[in-house]
Amino acid sequence: MNDSMPAGKRILVVEDDALIARALALRLAALGFTVAGPVASGEEAVAAAARERPDLVLMDIVLPGAVDGIDAARVIIDEQRVPLLYLTAYADEERFARARITAPHAYLIKPYSDRELQLAIELALQRHQHEALLLLEAEHQERRIDELATTLAALVEGSTDCISAKGSDGRYILCNGAVERLLGRQRQDILGHRDEELFPARMAARLRADDRRLMSAAATETCEEEISGAGGGERTYLTTKGCLRIAGETVGVFAIARDISGRKEAERRLRRLSGFFNAVAQINQAIMHAESAAALLVSACEIVVRHGEVDGAWVGLLDADGWIEVVADSGMAGEYLRGLRIAIDAQPAEGHGPDGAAMRDGRPAICNDFLNDPRTGPWQERARAAGIAAAAVFPIRRAGAVVGVFSLYAGEVAYFDEELIELLGELASDISFALDKFSADERRQRAEAELRSALDRLHEVSARLIGVQEEERRRLARDLHDDIGQNLTMIKIVLLGMRPWPAGGDRDEVQEAADIADRTLQRVRALSVELRPPQLDDLGLLPALRAHLDSTCRQAGLKARFIADEGMPQPPEEIAIACFRIAQEALNNAVRHAGASALALELRLAKGLLVLSVRDDGRGFDAAAALAGAARGKSLGLLSMQERAALVGGQLELLSEPARRAGSELRVTLPLPLSGARQ
């Protein structure tokens, strides 16, 4: 006995011959099997199999009655799924053909040996066991397939993407709820129909052409496409479609379409906002570099159309009659505005639009459906011809007061959303700030022009005053020298020529009078030189400076040093006078305040300039503080030197340090005509 077969298997014996049945039962028992039956008819066999639940049925093919062994076997196998072993003494082809229909597990031809019986039973049981395992695996696979099919169906149905499949004839064989919502139809109204019955003709033709191309190439592709839905209008879908193959055979096409209209709109809005941010940056650059308010407004309109993805922009300012006058425009705004009149008064129809409202209310006026807004009635025909679908108007201010509008037009309804409105409001504020800046600049320029004019007049008056002063000095010096000096000389001569001398003290009195007249004459001559040194007119600048330096140092007991370039030409009179007077004032200041032991005066030519330098070796002082005090009028001498240098186009520089005995230097640079300069 095969040890692989479990002992005690229950076998139902169906045999109409009682002797054979008895012998068969004994043989089976001897082989270790449990015997059920035996029974002699087909009906009894069916009942016994249902009652006994055997592990195997030994069935005689030929049985008496209406139900033979083959019919009984068919019922037992269908109801009990029990392995079957046919016993037969006949081997005709007809019976075997009928028997094969019941798919028996083995045949045993009478007569047979115990070994043949045992082998046949073991073969039938093993085959049944194998078939049971195969059946169990098949059932498991079917359940798995059903589970996968259910999961796939749930995924397809639960997906928000439109999932569909069409057969090779173009009829829909699969669709999910998203497709139903897209087409606005029930599933039974979609399945079995073609694209021509569901979509507009042009779109259906395109879809059908795509299906043929994909099936022909056995390809899969992903693309963006516009699909018309049940709600009207087209939406953008990202669609993956391709050839549908099952078991290597092309059976149709599939499509998975995701609605990306929201994403495309977000991308478009992002690009639009990015463009407007760029426009804001460009306009801020224009604000910094614009030469006038008019040029800025023109640039602002051009930039916002070029970078901001609007179709037109213009700026209008309020005129004296209460109408908005266009001062700058770009894009289609110029054509639309030609001959157009816009008022800010709410009484006439021309004042009801967003421009007048923005002017009156001082806040943005948005019209996102221009052609259907009752406020825009007077301009709708013109706007339709120009392609205007939406408008946004922002007030422009100057010094806080609304003076104009910044208007933008778009060819798309609902174009101006909240983010864009906020950004454009900032842009209008920047333009208003720029206008205030230009107004302030204009006021500053006028003030500067007036100041320059006043300074020019002041310099002119100062120059004329100095000229008059010099002329008066010359006249006084001449009068002192020529008239008073000569008179004093005559008095001295008369006093000294009195003859005879009187006796006693009278002669001393006359001499004293002559001495007084002589001292008075010397003082008059000194005053004459101080007022206008004759060397300056008679000999020129260099001799006059040398003589004045020697006289000043001799009277003060200081060492004098004079340095000048050889062959220096005589400068023009106004330069010579300015140079001499500055040197005169500088020497007097050094004598009075420096506590110096030596003075040096230097006059040189350098690159067409006359450079005067007056130096001392005395105490230093705070040069910056002195110049600042001169600017406030605290030092009239230094102020006078600065003024004289400036009147002839020169510059004055003061070099000194406080609390140091390093000396001081006053340096003046004066321009010379080319003919009088030496390089």
Q: What is the bridge-based pairing of β-strands 312-318 and 324-331?
A: antiparallel
- Mean pLDDT, residues 103-111 taken together: 68
Contact 186, 180 (CB under 8 A): yes
- Residue at 295 is within a domain: yes
pLDDT value for 477: 57
Reported as a pLDDT band with limits 50, 70 and 90, residue 5 is very low
Q: Residues 232-252: pLDDT tens digits? A: 678 888 899 999 888 888 889
Kindly list the distances between the CA atom of residue 112 and the CA atoms of 26, 34, 106, 123, in Å, as whole numbers in the listed order.
14, 20, 13, 15
Predicted confidence at residue 325, as pLDDT, reads: 86
CATH number at residue 250: 3.30.450.20
User: How do residues 6-47 score in pLDDT, each as one tens digit?
Assistant: 457 888 888 888 888 888 888 888 888 888 888 888 888 888
Domain containing 402 equals 269-532
Q: Do residue 244 and residue 366 come from a single domain?
A: no
Same-domain status, 285 and 401:
yes
Mean pLDDT for the stretch of residues 423-449 = 84
Least confident piece of the model among 229-233, 256-260, 304-308: 229-233
Which of 228, 259, 290 marks a domain boundary? 259
pLDDT confidence bin for 528, thresholds 50/70/90 = low
Q: Kindly state whether residues 244 and 331 are assigned to the same domain.
A: no
Q: What percent of the chain has pLDDT over 70?
A: 80
Look up the CATH number of the domain holding residue 321: 3.30.450.40
Indicate the pLDDT class of residue 573, thresholds 50, 70 and 90. confident
Pair 224, 273 in one domain: no
Question: In this predicted structure, what is the pLDDT of residue 391?
Answer: 92
Nearest to 15 by CA among 53, 52, 44: 44
Residue-level pLDDT at 366: 92
Asked whether the predicted pLDDT for residue 545 surpasses 60, the reply is: yes
At 495 the pLDDT is 62
Mean pLDDT of 522-529: 61
Phi and psi at residue 326, to the nearest 5°:
-75, 125
Q: Which of 207, 233, 259 is the last residue of a domain?
A: 259
Quick: pLDDT tens for 52-101. Answer: 889 888 888 777 777 777 788 888 887 878 888 777 766 556 556 665 66
Whether residues 126 and 193 fall in one domain: no
Whether residues 281 and 372 fall in one domain: yes
User: Quick one: 494 and 449 in the same domain?
Assistant: yes
Would residue 2 count as lying in a domain? no
Instruction: Indicate the residue among 220, 241, 259 that finishes a domain.
Output: 259
**Average per-residue pLDDT in the chain?**
80
Residue 43 counted as domain residue = yes
What is the per-residue pLDDT across 186-207, written as a single tens digit (0 to 9) for each?
999 999 999 999 888 888 999 9
- Residue 49 resides in a domain: yes
Residue 146 lies in a domain: no
pLDDT at 643 over 50: yes
541/503 same-domain check: no
Report pLDDT digits (tens) over 334-350: 778 877 777 777 666 66
In a domain, 439, yes or no: yes
Co-location of 164 and 116 in the same domain = no
Distance, in Å, from the CA atom of 170 to the CA atom of 270, rounded to the nearest integer, reads 40
Does residue 565 sit in the same domain as residue 446?
A: no
- Whether residues 438 and 399 fall in one domain: yes
| CATH label of the domain that carries residue 131 | 3.40.50.2300
Specify if 152 maps to a domain.
no
The CATH number given to whatever domain includes residue 618 is 3.30.565.10
SS3 98: helix
Q: Are 361 and 370 in contact (CB under 8 A)?
A: no
The string of pLDDT tens digits covering residues 596-612 is: 889 999 998 888 888 99
Query: Could you give the number of structural domains in the chain?
Result: 4
**Shared-domain flag, residues 421 and 504:** yes
Tell me whether residue 3 is in a domain. Answer: no
| Beta strands 664-671; 162-167: pairing state | unpaired
